[in-house]
A and B are shown apart, each in its own frame.
Chain A
Amino acid sequence: MLVALFVGFAALLVVTSLMVVLHKNPVTSALFLVLAFCSLAGIYLLLNAEFLGMVQIVVYAGAIMVLFLFVIMYLNLQHDVETGVQIAVRRGVGWLAGAGLLLVGVTLLRRGWTLGPTNDAMAGAEHGNVAAIGRVLYSRYLFPFEITSILLLVAMVGVIIIARGRGQAEPDVGTGAKEDA
């Protein structure tokens, strides 16, 4: 049952990822990416990572993809025009490079590798995955967790500065932000 579910989610993930890369229309690519993220969330659920499965849906399929779709529609992009010899050559080179990379990966996986000793049980996992993650996040990883909040703050300020644009901001500082909103 578990393996069958995994095979289903994995097939969906590979097919939707390929469609993201292959489809001409960026909006369709973005919607296929949402589907890919959802199937990845399903795989996370199968791997005892319930918290990450939920965060994957909320953050990736929700917030990040809404941002993507918003920008695609804001820029009013048409279908990609992808014709010409140069682009055909580059597409061939791209697929060849991808095949080479996959070959390297397969070779490395086939060399035979082992893992170190495993723990007997997840620390504090008896109250469920979310509680266990929270306990680890607020004890051992407290400092990185706080740094993450600073990172998000810096990113937010940076986005506002970049998206506002230099041209409008300097002449009228007071109304520059309103025009873009």
Chain B
Amino acid sequence: MIPLSWLIALSAVVFTIGVVGVLVRRNALVIFMSVELMLNAANLAFVAFANHMKSLDGQVFVFFVMTVAAAEVAIGLAIIVHLFRLRETVFVDEIHLLKG
């Protein structure tokens, strides 16, 4: 039996790595990947608690989170492709005007 606190700590560490990635990187695609890391850290916490409480609800929630993440990735990548066509860059520093 894996201790619950280890799992929560691992989830916190992965979430923090995702936050740092969003703050540090300039490439919009890598920022997106960091967001995925954060979502997966939250999923790990869900699964850990579901296993500990012997309940399936947490796992069903993770299923829904995965669906939303898939939709979010598709939309986000479409926006990035469109942005690249307009501005020829995916660096978030150079995309700073609301009215492009």
Q: Do A and B come from one complex?
A: yes
Within 8 A of A (CB), among B13-56: 13-21, 23-27, 29-30, 32-34, 36-37, 40, 43-44, 47-56
Range of interface residues on B (Cβ < 8 Å): 35 or more
B-binding residues in A (CB < 8 A) = 2-3, 6, 10, 13-14, 17-18, 20-21, 26, 29-30, 33, 36-37, 40, 43-44, 46-49, 51-52, 55-56, 59-60, 63-64, 67-68, 71-72, 74-75, 77, 80, 82, 87, 90-91, 93-95, 97-98, 101-102, 105-106, 109, 115-116, 118-123, 125, 129, 132-133, 136-137, 141, 144, 148, 151-152, 154-156, 158-159, 162-163, 165
Partner of A44, one of B12, B47, B91: B47
The smallest C-beta distance from B44 to any residue of chain A, in angstroms, reads 6
Majority SS at the chain A contact face: helix
Majority SS at the chain B contact face: helix
